[in-house]
Structure 1
Amino acid sequence: MTVHHRVVEASESLKVFPLPSAVLLPHSVLPLHIFEPRYREMVRDALEGDQVMALAQLEPGWEPRYAERPAMQPMLCAGLIVWHEALEEGRYNILLQGVCRARLVAELPTERLYRQVRVELLPDSPYSGPEEEQLRQAVFELAGRVPPSFSEGLLPAVARARGGTLADVVGAAVIPEPERRQALLAELDVRRRLEAVMEEVGELIARLQPMRPVGPLN
Structure 2
Amino acid sequence: MQVGNKSYRTQSDIPADVPVFPLSGALLLPGAQLPLNIFEPRYLAMLDDALSSNRIIGVIQPALDEKASGQSPVADLCSIGCLGRITSFSETGDGRYVVSLSGICRFRVIEELGKGRKPYRVCRISPFLGDLDTSGDNGAEVDRQALLDSFKAYLEANNLEADWASVERASTETLVNSLSMMSPYGPAEKQALLEADDLKTRAETLIAITEIALARDSDENGHVLQ
Scaled by the length of structure 1, what TM-score is found? 0.72
SS for the counterpart of 1:106 is strand
Give the direction of change, closer, same or farther, for the CA distance of 1:131–1:22 in structure 2 (3 Å limit): closer
Pair 1:101 & 2:106 matched: yes
User: What's the counterpart of residue 33 of structure 1?
Assistant: 37
* 1:61-99 deviation digits (Å, cap 9, x = unpaired): 359755x4x311101011122222213464312222222
* 1:114-165 deviation digits (Å, cap 9, x = unpaired): 111122222347346543444465378569955244x4544433xx244xx6
> Any conservation in 2 of the 1:24–1:98 contact (CA below 8 Å)?
yes
**Gaps in structure 2 of 5+ consecutive residues:** 219-226
> Any conservation in 2 of the 1:27–1:169 contact (CA below 8 Å)?
no
SS for the counterpart of 2:182 is helix
Pair 1:18 & 2:22 matched: yes
Partner AA of 1:57 in structure 2: Q
Partner AA of 1:2 in structure 2: K
Q: Distance in 1 between matches of 2:197 and 2:54?
A: 26
User: What's the counterpart of residue 119 of structure 2?
Assistant: 113
Give the direction of change, closer, same or farther, for the CA distance of 1:133–1:32 in structure 2 (3 Å limit): closer
User: What's the counterpart of residue 92 of structure 2?
Assistant: 87
SS for the counterpart of 1:131 is coil
Give the direction of change, closer, same or farther, for the CA distance of 1:168–1:144 in structure 2 (3 Å limit): closer
Once the two structures are TM-superposed, the CA of residue 179 in structure 1 deviates from its matched residue by: 2.4
User: What's the counterpart of residue 182 of structure 1?
Assistant: 191
Give the direction of change, closer, same or farther, for the CA distance of 1:63–1:51 in structure 2 (3 Å limit): farther
Q: How does 1:146-165 map to 2 (within 5 A)?
A: 146-149=160-163, 151-157=164-170, 160-162=171-173
Q: How does 1:134-173 map to 2 (within 5 A)?
A: 134-135=145-146, 137-138=148-149, 146-149=160-163, 151-157=164-170, 160-162=171-173, 167-173=176-182
> Any conservation in 2 of the 1:86–1:92 contact (CA below 8 Å)?
yes
**Gaps in structure 1 of 5+ consecutive residues:** 209-218
Partner AA of 1:112 in structure 2: K
Q: Distance in 1 between matches of 2:42 and 2:11?
A: 21
Scaled by the length of structure 2, what TM-score is found? 0.70
Once the two structures are TM-superposed, the CA of residue 185 in structure 1 deviates from its matched residue by: 0.6
Q: How does 1:43-62 map to 2 (within 5 A)?
A: 43-59=47-63, 60-61=65-66
Give the direction of change, closer, same or farther, for the CA distance of 1:129–1:43 in structure 2 (3 Å limit): same
* 1:51-70 deviation digits (Å, cap 9, x = unpaired): 2111111113359755x4x3
Give the direction of change, closer, same or farther, for the CA distance of 1:90–1:5 in structure 2 (3 Å limit): farther
The alignment's C-alpha RMSD in Å is 3.5
Partner AA of 1:35 in structure 2: F
Partner AA of 2:105 in structure 1: C
- The worse-fitting range, judged by mean Cα deviation, of 23-32 and 3-12 is 3-12
